[in-house]
Amino acid sequence: MSALEAARSLFTGLTGREPDGVWSAPGRVNLIGEHTDYNEGFVLPFAIPHRTFAAAALRDDDRVRVASTFAEEPVEVDLAQLDALFPTPVGSAPSVPEWSAYALGVAWALRAAAPGATARGVDIAIASDVPVGAGLSSSAAIEGAVASALDELWSTRLDPVALAQIGRRAENEAVGAPTGIMDQMSSMLGRADAATFIDCRTLATESVPTGFTAEGLEVLVIDTQVKHSHSTGGYRERREACERGAALLGIRSLRDATEADLPRAAALMDDVTFRRVRHVVTENQRVLDTVRALAERGPRAIGDLLVASHASMRDDFEISVAELDLAVETALAQGAVGARMTGGGFGGAAIALVARDDVERMSDAVTRAFADAGYAAPHVFTVHPSEGPRRDA
């Protein structure tokens, strides 16, 4: 059964009727630009074919009920209760099951963003084929699908950027995860065969053709099966280090620092804070260099930038794990154009840019390397830049 069919079936089983519609939004792969978004920097993600589906229909009362194929019981609250449930302090557990906080948080944030709209009770059933905990933004896919559904059902008629901001507020303030806006923007603005260059300060965007298909290249995702969570301490500590570094430099955010500022930063900061700052500053430049390289020389020219990004995340930001490093090292040894971990780190997935004819050989080599190291078998699959949210039924 497809995820779309699973969402519809769950809805029918929950309510005894057909949904008013089924909406979906994609996960994403970040080509380059990690932990730069909450520093008001630059990112270059793309939406992927894997999607989350939300089957939904209005109710005759003011209750909001959400169900998911990956939860045993639905969660139901009054619309009026949402303001009492949220916000959730950063790093704290939501007062509802975390999976439901993504959907309920969107409803809460959407009501606040569109106070003139007529919000009514709603039933929502969620199913997804975006791998959870793999760094492919399954959370933003939930937020995007639910936001798209409620935007239509409640007639709020907000644009994709506004819906992305609602998704981010849900993640930050309902779930308590201190993430930036990259994931939601990538999901809401996805286009086939293109990445989305995002200025996370101004929210200006540009669709950047990747050229992967024309060059016979595939993006291989290597899901290490090591699960991560943005609501836990490691992510928060990295963000706090970035904020501390910006304060020491006397700037609004690390977006305002360049590589020329790094010697002064080294003199002002302890070693750990400096290395966190150095990652963000150099990663911002790598994003700009990648956009330029894709336009001027094509996708085979970005390999070294991907490799340098991984080294920076491994050594300066210290968010990689042994499984991610092995995935990257094996892919490069097998001839990948470039490879890096993707997502927030502490687990999740790596990506490798590989020739289409080498996908099977590369997948087998990575799987063997994991077995030889005594790691659990990775989930290896390909993705391509895909479209953003849509109504599927």
The CATH number linked to 110 is: 3.30.230.10
**234 and 366, same domain (yes or no):** yes
**157 and 241, same domain (yes or no):** no
What per-residue confidence (pLDDT) applies to 232?
58
Gap between the Cα atoms of 100 and 66, Å rounded: 7
Gap between the Cα atoms of 63 and 120, Å rounded: 8
User: Which residue out of 123, 151, 183, 223 is catalytically annotated?
Assistant: 183
Residue 261: band (very low, low, confident or very high) from pLDDT cuts 50, 70, 90: very high
Q: What is the amino acid identity at position 77?
A: V
What per-residue confidence (pLDDT) applies to 369?
98
What per-residue confidence (pLDDT) applies to 178?
84
Residue 336 pLDDT exceeds 80: yes
**348 and 215, same domain (yes or no):** yes
**Mean pLDDT on 125-135:** 91
Residue-range definition of the domain harbouring residue 152: 3-207
Q: Is residue 388 in a domain?
A: no
Q: Is residue 391 in a domain?
A: no
Look at residues 207, 227, 259 and tell me which one is the last residue of a structural domain: 207
Residue 230 pLDDT exceeds 70: no
pLDDT in tens, 192-225: 999 999 999 999 999 999 999 999 999 999 999 9
Report the number of distinct structural domains present in the chain: 2
Taking phi first (over 0 means left), then psi (-120 to 50 degrees means alpha), and beta for anything else, what does residue 215 get?
alpha
Q: Is 316 a catalytic residue?
A: no
**80 and 181, same domain (yes or no):** yes
This prediction's pTM = 0.94
Q: Is residue 254 in a domain?
A: yes
Closest CA to 324 of 307, 301, 340, 344: 340
**252 and 298, same domain (yes or no):** yes
**53 and 151, same domain (yes or no):** yes
**333 and 374, same domain (yes or no):** yes
Look at residues 185, 207, 229 and tell me which one is the last residue of a structural domain: 207
Kindly report the average pLDDT of the chain as a whole number. 96
Taking phi first (over 0 means left), then psi (-120 to 50 degrees means alpha), and beta for anything else, what does residue 225 get?
left
**218 and 176, same domain (yes or no):** no
Q: Is residue 318 in a domain?
A: yes
**173 and 255, same domain (yes or no):** no
**135 and 224, same domain (yes or no):** no
**186 and 216, same domain (yes or no):** no
Residue 367 pLDDT exceeds 70: yes
Question: Looking at residue 249, which CATH number applies to its domain?
Answer: 3.30.70.890
**162 and 110, same domain (yes or no):** yes
Look at residues 165, 190, 207 and tell me which one is the last residue of a structural domain: 207
